[in-house]
Chain A
Amino acid sequence: MSTTIDDEVTAETPKKPTKRQRQAAGVAEAASGGVKMLLVKVLMLGIVDAIAVYAIFILISSEQWLVAAIVGVVTAIVNWIYFSRTKLPAKYLTPGVIFLVVFQVFVLVYTGYIAFTNYGTGHNGSKEQAVSSLMSSALERVPDSPTYEVTVVDQLGELGLLVTDPDGEASVGTSDSPLTEVDAEMEGGKAVAVDGWTTLNFADVIARTDEITELAVPFSDDPNDGAIRTPDGSSGYLYLSNLEYDAAAGTMTNLSTGTVYTDLGTGAFTSDDGQQLLPGWQIVVGFDNFVRAVTDERLAGPLFYVTLWTFAFALISVASTFFLGLFLAIVFNDLRMRGRKYYRVLMILPYAVPSFLSALVWAGMMNESFGFINQVLLGGASVPWLTDPVVAKISVLVVNLWLGFPYMFLVCTGALQSIPEELQEAATVDGARPWAVFRLIKLPLLLVSVAPLLIASFAFNFNNFNVIYMLTDGGPRDSNAPIPVGFTDILISMVYKVAFTGQSRDYGLASAYSIIIFIVVAVISVIAFRRTKSLEELN
């Protein structure tokens, strides 16, 4: 925005601006983006802000104050960045950072938080929810008590029940006053209205659900006779509770046995002899899950060999795929090969089929009695491809090799073509053998660009859940292990089994394991990346 141009335009002597001035004006115009660009920008930001404002209203109406505040602050920052005239780097970085935070950082932080709680089966919600759930399950119908026809009635805002007993006698009561007989208006043998009370219609009943769920009308002055409750607003039943909650003391008492359960900080009401009333609630348990993860005797044995196998699986997978891919890349890089294009297309095929699908197909082909490999290729042999501990491990590695070599083949093909031909020619002139050329010149140069990818591939295979789950589901099972772990389980699939199979979920323990796995992979990657720095001195 140079002011000289404005001066130029508003000069008294209207003379044509010189060529240079026109050029300068054009440049300035382009640099400032022009009104059209600005309009687009305003429109885009308008859409973003509209969505954000809408989200904030939704969040506030559902009382999510923290999230609403975060959305508000982020939106304000975004507007500030894009309406400012500088901060060019921020303009490019902001979208990426926002997505990174939402999809990566938040997930990591939340997993970290769960790892320090006892979240899992039986510790699923808050303490209030546990109490209300325990109390509602503790209601027992008085044996041999009849069904009472009830009408929900209201007196000055207090709800009551107009009850018709099986003999046709009507009585009315509230939570505080036991049933007393009244003369009521009857309709088809059911009392529907009584003087001094307003009868609620179905819509009113539904609108006051919370009060009706709480409503328990004592049958008589003796609390042991129970109280009438109505689950659906039209029929009532006589209930006795066998638990009593003392909010002040924070204790639950079982009325039939007299056992007292207290909150000892274990996340559930616990009796003196250690019996727990479930459901309990979520509490923060500190490092308990991490301690259990490494010291649990049930897990100790399996954990050891699963960890070993995980390393072996990841390392062998990376090595085998890399060397096969490299070998093929070199072969198809040789100008003497005919029809290289077609071979290359064929090589990519395993990479093009989704790994879920191919792992399932392999599992079918490797079935011991009916699989294609045993039946057709081996003429009816019964090789236990997936059911013998050792053979299953080999099968998993073979399938993973099949799935993984095309990627390495692509990468190596690209890297090989970037190595200048002169190097090879010079080496040949100096009398080097092909093997020496490869080992001393090509491979080091290749590794400069491929090493980071090998590390990434290791990290990927370390957590390659799909192949294991789809092919063997970790099987064959180790029938001696106390948890349902198998001989081809890697750490991540074992964690999955601990957390998500059977009837008891243990999200806290699984999150702790995930964090331990993350630390292991991160440490290995960092060390490996440090080592690869030395390769770069080659250039």
Chain B
Amino acid sequence: MRVNTKSLLAAGAVAVVATLGLASCAAGDAGSEGDAASSTLTVWVDAERVDALQGAADAYSEKNGVKVDLVGKDNADIKDDFIQQVPTGKGPDITMGAHDWLGELSTNGVVAPIELGDSAGDYLPVAIDASTYEGTVYMLPYAVENIAVIRNADLVPEAATSFDDMIAKGQAAGLTQPFVVEQGAEGNPYHLYPFQTAFGAPVFGSNDQGYDPTDLQLGNAGGEQFATWLASQGKNGTGVFNTDVDGDIAKQAFLDGTAAFWLTGPWNVGSAVDAGLNVAIDSVPSPTAEVASPFAGVKGFFVSSESKNKVAANDFLVNYLGTEDVQLELFEAGNVLPALSAAAETASSDPIIEGFAAVGAEAVPMPAIPAMGSVWQYWGIAEADVINGADPVATWQKLTADVQAAIQ
């Protein structure tokens, strides 16, 4: 008898399960019927900028009936996740990213070209250059970032005219280490690049397609002069550059007022302003008569090559995120210079943004070509060795040889 009760219950369980299953099946069907599923744009966004985009996404849905689904992602994972998930067909339609990913994304075949059409002229030239890879535009730019010198205007009221002048002004104000820049045990070539360009040694030469990986300019005569100068400012010289100064130490020195000049990007201005410092933004003081141009990093949006909604994705990016209002909204959230010229002008009413924009006008886009990966591998460690007293010219020649070998 009890056996019977048991089998009855078992049958009941099977029935319950089947019902639940059918219910879930019905729910699943409802989701995949019609065009509701096909006209949802999935956009991966740096988690900190979801709120900034939310308004724009909702407004677009309102206007065109296309649902825009923003997914906040950790900035460190976006690129690798995008590369891995696009081929599976499970990736997003659009992702936010940085222009120097382009080489890698394109080599993996995960991005689709974007046609900016006539609106290409409305963007800052550096933004368009950075969005272009091998002659094709793949990215809709929304912000341009570059480093500049932040000066503590209470300690040093006037901008420096040259590198030596900066050190002299700082020492006159009674500071032993007036200038700080983020380095590390493995160097930090990104932050030293303006000084290198001042000696006329860009990483790569350019042709009409953008940077030319076969034309390595790093090791030209200017590069060796730069290395010699770097050594003279390193451990065995004036000690201005020190590989023990990492990001946190540099920041602390500036906030404590032991340094009056800090070579860094807009991402660090907030902390200086919050600390109540009176800051001014200057261009990078050059150690030579030439201009010191930092790298420009451009942020933007990419369309997945496997997207099922390319038309909507292109429309959303080019005809909507490329408008002044939306670019300004993103600017409000991230405080970086908009890539659209009109929006950039409006944003430049803020003196700090204006300062960075003025430096940005001299900036060069960071190379996105895959060969750049080989440069990064050796570049920083060579600079760190030079700062710490290795023979500058020999180290620089070895760096050039290593990079050349790795690119082949």
Partners in one complex: yes
Chain A residues close to B by CB (< 8 Å): 1, 6, 32, 35, 38-39, 42, 45-46, 49-50, 53-54, 57-58, 61, 83, 121-122, 124-126, 129-130, 132-134, 136-137, 139-141, 147, 202-203, 205-207, 209-210, 212-213, 230-235, 237, 278-279, 367-370, 386-387, 472-473, 475-477, 479, 482-484, 500, 502-505
Closest A residue, CB atoms, query B372: A503
Tell whether B385 is near chain A: CB-to-CB under 8 Å: yes
Q: Are B109 and A209 in contact (CB under 8 A)?
A: no
A136 to chain B, nearest CB (A): 6
B290 to chain A, nearest CB (A): 29
Q: Using known A-B contacts A39-B9, A203-B35, determine if residue A130 contacts B242 with beta carbons closer than 8 Å.
A: no
Q: Are B109 and A279 in contact (CB under 8 A)?
A: yes
**Which of B1, B12, B312 has the largest number of chain A CB atoms within 10 A?**
B312
Question: Complex: how many Å from CA A235 to CA B378?
Answer: 45
Closest B residue, CB atoms, query A152: B311
Question: Complex: how many Å from CA A137 to CA B112?
Answer: 7
Chain A residues with CB below 8 A from B9, complex form: 35, 38-39, 42
Q: Using known A-B contacts A57-B28, A133-B305, A231-B311, determine if residue A370 contacts B107 with beta carbons closer than 8 Å.
A: no
Q: Are A57 and B24 in contact (CB under 8 A)?
A: yes
Question: Complex: how many Å from CA A147 to CA B25?
Answer: 47
Given contacts A207-B38, A479-B382, 19 further A-B contacts (CB under 8 A): A38-B9, A42-B16, A49-B13, A49-B20, A50-B20, A57-B24, A57-B25, A124-B83, A126-B87, A130-B109, A134-B109, A209-B311, A209-B312, A210-B308, A233-B311, A370-B245, A502-B373, A502-B376, A503-B103
Question: Complex: how many Å from CA A210 to CA B39?
Answer: 12
Question: Quick check: which of B51-59, B148-156, B262-270, B313-321 contacts chain A, the rest being far away?
Answer: B313-321
Chain A residues with CB below 8 A from B42, complex form: none
Over the window 85-119 of chain B, the binary record of Cβ atoms lying under 8 Å from chain A Cβ atoms (1 yes, 0 no) is 01100000000000000011011111011110110
Q: Are B402 and A125 in contact (CB under 8 A)?
A: no
B200 to chain A, nearest CB (A): 25
Q: Are A129 and B109 in contact (CB under 8 A)?
A: yes
For window 1-48 of chain B, which residues contact chain A by CB distance below 8 Å?
1-3, 5-6, 9-10, 12-13, 16-18, 20-21, 24-25, 28, 32, 35, 38-39
Indicate which residue in A49, A57, A141, A370 contacts B249 across the interface (CB closer than 8 Å). Answer: A370
Q: Are A121 and B185 in contact (CB under 8 A)?
A: no
Q: Are B305 and A477 in contact (CB under 8 A)?
A: no
Closest A residue, CB atoms, query B32: A61
Question: Complex: how many Å from CA A6 to CA B402?
Answer: 89
B404 to chain A, nearest CB (A): 12
Chain A residues with CB below 8 A from B366, complex form: none
Chain B residues with CB below 8 A from A133, complex form: 109-110, 112, 305
Q: Are B28 and A38 in contact (CB under 8 A)?
A: no
Question: Complex: how many Å from CA A125 to CA B293?
Answer: 38
Q: Using known A-B contacts A206-B66, A387-B185, determine if residue A482 contacts B305 with beta carbons closer than 8 Å.
A: no
Question: Complex: how many Å from CA A250 to CA B66?
Answer: 38
B403 to chain A, nearest CB (A): 11
Q: Are A209 and B310 in contact (CB under 8 A)?
A: yes
Closest A residue, CB atoms, query B16: A46
Chain A residues with CB below 8 A from B395, complex form: 479
Chain B residues with CB below 8 A from A139, complex form: 113, 136
Question: Complex: how many Å from CA A212 to CA B318?
Answer: 17
The main secondary structure of chain A at its interface with chain B is mixed
Tell whether B65 is near chain A: CB-to-CB under 8 Å: yes
Question: Complex: how many Å from CA A504 to CA B48?
Answer: 27
Q: Are A50 and B35 in contact (CB under 8 A)?
A: no
Q: Are A477 and B372 in contact (CB under 8 A)?
A: no
Q: Using known A-B contacts A32-B2, A235-B117, determine if residue A137 contacts B17 with beta carbons closer than 8 Å.
A: no
Could you name 13 residue pairs across A and B whose Cβ atoms are closer than 8 Å?
A: A39-B9, A42-B16, A49-B20, A50-B21, A53-B21, A57-B24, A57-B28, A130-B109, A141-B115, A202-B64, A231-B114, A370-B245, A484-B381
Q: Using known A-B contacts A124-B110, A479-B385, determine if residue A209 contacts B308 with beta carbons closer than 8 Å.
A: yes
**Which of B1, B244, B311 has the largest number of chain A CB atoms within 10 A?**
B311
Indicate which residue in A54, A83, A504 contacts B21 across the interface (CB closer than 8 Å). Answer: A54
Indicate which residue in B135, B319, B385 contacts A140 across the interface (CB closer than 8 Å). Answer: B135
Chain B residues with CB below 8 A from A237, complex form: 115, 117
Closest B residue, CB atoms, query A9: B1
Q: Using known A-B contacts A53-B17, A124-B83, determine if residue A58 contacts B28 with beta carbons closer than 8 Å.
A: yes
Q: Are A137 and B113 in contact (CB under 8 A)?
A: yes
Chain A residues with CB below 8 A from B381, complex form: 477, 479, 484
Chain A residues with CB below 8 A from B106, complex form: 137, 279
Question: Complex: how many Å from CA A467 to CA B376?
Answer: 24
Tell whether B145 is near chain A: CB-to-CB under 8 Å: no
By Cβ-Cβ distance, the 8 closest A-B pairs, closest first, are: A503-B373, A279-B109, A125-B87, A53-B21, A133-B109, A369-B244, A50-B20, A54-B24
B34 to chain A, nearest CB (A): 9
Chain B residues with CB below 8 A from A231, complex form: 114-115, 310-311, 314, 318
Question: Complex: how many Å from CA A38 to CA B7?
Answer: 11
Q: Using known A-B contacts A203-B39, A279-B109, determine if residue A6 contacts B13 with beta carbons closer than 8 Å.
A: no
Q: Are A233 and B315 in contact (CB under 8 A)?
A: yes
Chain A residues with CB below 8 A from B282, complex form: none
Question: Complex: how many Å from CA A9 to CA B2?
Answer: 13
**Which of B65, B249, B381 has the largest number of chain A CB atoms within 10 A?**
B381
Q: Are B311 and A232 in contact (CB under 8 A)?
A: yes
Tell whether B377 is near chain A: CB-to-CB under 8 Å: yes
Chain A residues with CB below 8 A from B311, complex form: 205-206, 209, 212-213, 230-233
Q: Are A213 and B310 in contact (CB under 8 A)?
A: yes
Question: Complex: how many Å from CA A471 to CA B135?
Answer: 43
Q: Are A61 and B83 in contact (CB under 8 A)?
A: no
Closest A residue, CB atoms, query B28: A57
Chain B residues with CB below 8 A from A130, complex form: 109
Chain A residues with CB below 8 A from B378, complex form: 479, 484
B1 to chain A, nearest CB (A): 6
Q: Are B35 and A129 in contact (CB under 8 A)?
A: no
A271 to chain B, nearest CB (A): 17
Q: Are B108 and A279 in contact (CB under 8 A)?
A: yes
Closest A residue, CB atoms, query B26: A57
Chain B residues with CB below 8 A from A54, complex form: 20-21, 24-25, 28
For window 365-408 of chain B, which residues contact chain A by CB distance below 8 Å?
370, 372-374, 376-378, 381-382, 384-385, 395, 398, 402, 405-406
Chain A residues with CB below 8 A from B185, complex form: 386-387, 472, 475-477
Q: Are A42 and B10 in contact (CB under 8 A)?
A: yes
B304 to chain A, nearest CB (A): 10
Chain B residues with CB below 8 A from A49, complex form: 13, 17, 20-21
Q: Are B107 and A278 in contact (CB under 8 A)?
A: yes
Q: Are B5 and A35 in contact (CB under 8 A)?
A: yes
Tell whether B329 is near chain A: CB-to-CB under 8 Å: no
Tell whether B309 is near chain A: CB-to-CB under 8 Å: yes
Tell whether B306 is near chain A: CB-to-CB under 8 Å: yes
A47 to chain B, nearest CB (A): 9
A161 to chain B, nearest CB (A): 13
Closest B residue, CB atoms, query A382: B244
Chain A residues with CB below 8 A from B402, complex form: 482
Tell whether B186 is near chain A: CB-to-CB under 8 Å: yes
Indicate which residue in B65, B108, B117 contacts A203 across the interface (CB closer than 8 Å). Answer: B65
Closest A residue, CB atoms, query B138: A137
For window 117-165 of chain B, which residues contact chain A by CB distance below 8 Å?
117-118, 134-136
A457 to chain B, nearest CB (A): 29
A55 to chain B, nearest CB (A): 9
Q: Are A121 and B21 in contact (CB under 8 A)?
A: no
Chain A residues with CB below 8 A from B310, complex form: 209, 213, 231
Q: Are A137 and B315 in contact (CB under 8 A)?
A: no
B300 to chain A, nearest CB (A): 16
Q: Are B370 and A477 in contact (CB under 8 A)?
A: no
Q: Are A83 and B10 in contact (CB under 8 A)?
A: yes
B129 to chain A, nearest CB (A): 17
Indicate which residue in A83, A477, A483 contacts B186 across the interface (CB closer than 8 Å). Answer: A477
Q: Are B38 and A209 in contact (CB under 8 A)?
A: yes
A129 to chain B, nearest CB (A): 6
Chain A residues with CB below 8 A from B374, complex form: 502
